[in-house]
A and B are shown apart, each in its own frame.
Chain A
């Protein structure tokens, strides 16, 4: 195995070991730290000892028993679901619309859609806070969802636009020449074929909203504080192992969503 050639230049796997070692270490660095929260969350002590001296589920009980955390969790999930609906719908329509345009327009509009990714989040955060103060949208569900959607739409546009690239629009033309209206042709011919990118985009939108910190710090307060806002404050002030329990649940959710996105794209290749 080790003396088999690894590349076209006849370098062997044996002489590449350093690359595999380095690459492996970097992968460890990427994955392991997040997993450290799992054993910690089952610790019996409030000190961050590792390995924990004894195991218990007390931090999970603390989390589920806390009205504030339950409320924050509810707000975060409600906001994430609504953001997913709003941003997937608007982003998919936008990507489709851009796809049908020609000339310079789609490039310029595409760049515009990417602005929320390029502009530093802290700026969007204070700007939105300022706007919401005038409109009375601070600390409301509508405000959170609209702000999160502006962050999620660019990702939806990227994902769906790349899916549309490999889609032949003539199929829709055929459907229309056979008498289907444009909306009907889109819904019955185009949409099913870009299902995978749309689902992936929806998952991305969901996780984007659930994980959004900077804007939420400003526009989500009081009864509408999101989980991320409470976690941020808890991490800044005093570290409580309840955070480890919440983190473990969030890691489990991330794994599930990542698996779902992989599953969706597997289905497409078949």
Chain B
């Protein structure tokens, strides 16, 4: 009876209705997709096109130029910086996230505010603060000299060291937040069970807690790694021209040389590296963990 009714003309109308409604609901996402597609992504496809063009013909010349030692050097600098910053963030971020995850709810909420504060603070303000702190006659050098630890001021900024310090400061929250989210979700009964079964605290931590927290660590590492790889502002300000990263080469080719072929080729390589790493890690730990989405 009901089955027969569901196949009647009414059912067809209902299905058409449902389809129409799905279309309307789907269309609600269109303006946002269109904006991102047209303003942010389509131009990148255009850059890709420019990177293989010279005059009216196709060429790989722009990519061949990337083999020049100066580019190899800045690629090396970029990766050194990225690996170092990611490693330091992981080393500092893990204990901090662990401490916050172990704290009681109220305390954890307050400690998290300290982690969020830099995220909400202007990037340029933080770069400025580090310039002030690390310069030759800056606070850090003054303190170290007053404490009798150094005779001559250390070169802390406008070089690789300063860039690393500034980048760690900016990236650290992006390591701590996904780590914290994962750690908070770990069921403490697992650790308790390990202890009950005779594991020492360090064994329980190493064999039970750490493996359970690894997805958060992986998410943090991938986010920091990708952000570092293409980061422009901090190396440009704290590197003082001595640290030439891949992203700075891109800016330089556009601003000083108006060399869109070279800039595009550099950009395509950078994007390919970022996407390859994102895809590889995403395959292993799941894309949604990285993006914190559905």
Assembly CA distance A169 to B114 (angstroms)? 35
CB distance from B116 to the nearest CB of A (A): 6
Are B169 and A9 in contact, CB atoms less than 8 angstroms apart? no
Given contacts A26-B172, A251-B125, contact A149 B35 (CB under 8 A): yes
Are A20 and B99 in contact, CB atoms less than 8 angstroms apart? yes
User: Which residues on the B side are within 8 Å of A236 (C-beta)?
Assistant: 236-237
Assembly CA distance A106 to B123 (angstroms)? 32
The answer, among A94, A121, A231, A257, for a CB contact under 8 Å with B29, is A94
Interface-central residue, A11, A105, A122, A150, by most chain B CB under 10 Å:
A122
Are A27 and B111 in contact, CB atoms less than 8 angstroms apart? yes
Are A258 and B128 in contact, CB atoms less than 8 angstroms apart? no
User: Closest chain B residue to A98 by CB distance?
Assistant: B29
Assembly CA distance A153 to B201 (angstroms)? 44
CB distance from B197 to the nearest CB of A (A): 11
Assembly CA distance A146 to B204 (angstroms)? 51
- What range describes how many residues of B lie at the interface? 35 or more
Are B275 and A128 in contact, CB atoms less than 8 angstroms apart? no
The answer, among A30, A50, A96, for a CB contact under 8 Å with B169, is A30
Are B267 and A116 in contact, CB atoms less than 8 angstroms apart? no
Are A9 and B204 in contact, CB atoms less than 8 angstroms apart? yes
Are B122 and A250 in contact, CB atoms less than 8 angstroms apart? yes
Assembly CA distance A144 to B244 (angstroms)? 27
Per-residue B-contact encoding for A209-234, CB less than 8 Å = 1, 0 else: 01101100110000000001001100
Q: Does A165 make an interface contact (CB < 8 A)?
A: yes
Q: Does B195 make an interface contact (CB < 8 A)?
A: yes
Are A122 and B278 in contact, CB atoms less than 8 angstroms apart? no
Within 8 A of A (CB), among B115-153: 115-118, 120-133, 135, 137-139, 142
User: Which residues on the B side are within 8 Å of A40 (C-beta)?
Assistant: 132
User: Closest chain B residue to A40 by CB distance?
Assistant: B132
The answer, among B29, B40, B98, B102, for a CB contact under 8 Å with A127, is B40
Are B46 and A116 in contact, CB atoms less than 8 angstroms apart? no
User: Closest chain A residue to B229 by CB distance?
Assistant: A120
Are B113 and A112 in contact, CB atoms less than 8 angstroms apart? no
Are A254 and B130 in contact, CB atoms less than 8 angstroms apart? no
Assembly CA distance A96 to B32 (angstroms)? 12
Q: Does A171 make an interface contact (CB < 8 A)?
A: no
User: Closest chain A residue to B238 by CB distance?
Assistant: A235
Within 8 A of B (CB), among A136-166: 146-147, 149-151, 153-154, 157-158, 161-162, 165
Within 8 A of B (CB), among A232-260: 232, 235-236, 239, 243-244, 247, 250-251, 254-255, 257-258
Given contacts A90-B35, A126-B250, A150-B35, contact A251 B274 (CB under 8 A): no
Are B28 and A97 in contact, CB atoms less than 8 angstroms apart? yes
Within 8 A of B (CB), among A4-30: 6-11, 19-20, 22-23, 26-27, 29-30
User: Which residues on the A side are within 8 Å of B96 (C-beta)?
Assistant: 22-23, 26-27
User: Which residues on the B side are within 8 Å of A117 (C-beta)?
Assistant: 291
Within 8 A of A (CB), among B69-119: 92-93, 95-96, 98-100, 102, 111, 113-118
Assembly CA distance A144 to B8 (angstroms)? 54
Q: Does B63 make an interface contact (CB < 8 A)?
A: no
Given contacts A100-B25, A235-B237, contact A120 B121 (CB under 8 A): no
Q: Does A187 make an interface contact (CB < 8 A)?
A: no
Are A23 and B99 in contact, CB atoms less than 8 angstroms apart? yes
User: Which residues on the B side are within 8 Å of A27 (C-beta)?
Assistant: 96, 111, 114-115
Are B117 and A129 in contact, CB atoms less than 8 angstroms apart? no
Are A119 and B44 in contact, CB atoms less than 8 angstroms apart? yes
Are A110 and B293 in contact, CB atoms less than 8 angstroms apart? yes
The answer, among A29, A101, A120, A158, for a CB contact under 8 Å with B26, is A101
Q: Does A34 make an interface contact (CB < 8 A)?
A: yes
User: Which residues on the A side are within 8 Å of B173 (C-beta)?
Assistant: 30
CB distance from B11 to the nearest CB of A (A): 19
Within 8 A of A (CB), among B198-234: 199-201, 204-205, 226, 229-233
User: Which residues on the A side are within 8 Å of B237 (C-beta)?
Assistant: 232, 235-236
Q: Which 6 A-B pairs have the closest CB atoms?
A: A120-B230, A127-B43, A23-B99, A97-B28, A8-B192, A97-B29
- Give 15 pairs: A residue, B residue, CB < 8 Å, sorted on A: A8-B191, A26-B93, A33-B129, A34-B129, A50-B132, A105-B26, A109-B33, A110-B293, A116-B40, A119-B274, A120-B232, A146-B39, A213-B123, A239-B128, A254-B121
